[in-house]
């Protein structure tokens, strides 16, 4: 039983990190749309399509905003 406890937390932690990988990448890259990426990842990350969209969005470079 003790072995099960030792194996549960690393797998749970790895799954948690993989699920929120797009949000983590967006946070590390200081994305302008961090909240939107997180919300997409949180609500639609369970579907493969939502997770991939959030991942691509977090990796994609921000468009430059022209200063006036």
Per-residue pLDDT of the chain (68 residues; tens, 9 = 90+): 577 777 777 778 888 999 999 999 999 999 999 999 999 999 999 999 999 999 999 999 988 888 87
What separation in angstroms does the CA of 25 have from each of 57, 66, 67? 10, 25, 26
Give the position of tokens 């039983």: 1
- Which 8-state DSSP code applies to residue 47? S
Residue 1's pLDDT is: 53
Helix (H) and strand (E) counts in the chain: 4, 0
């Amino acid at each position: 039983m003790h072995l099960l406890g030792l194996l549960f937390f690393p797998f749970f932690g790895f799954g948690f990190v993989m699920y929120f990988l797009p949000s983590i990448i967006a946070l590390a890259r200081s994305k302008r749309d961090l909240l939107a990426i997180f919300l997409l990842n949180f609500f639609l990350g369970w579907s493969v399509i939502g997770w991939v969209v959030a991942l691509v969005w977090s990796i994609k470079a921000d468009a430059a905003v022209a200063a006036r």
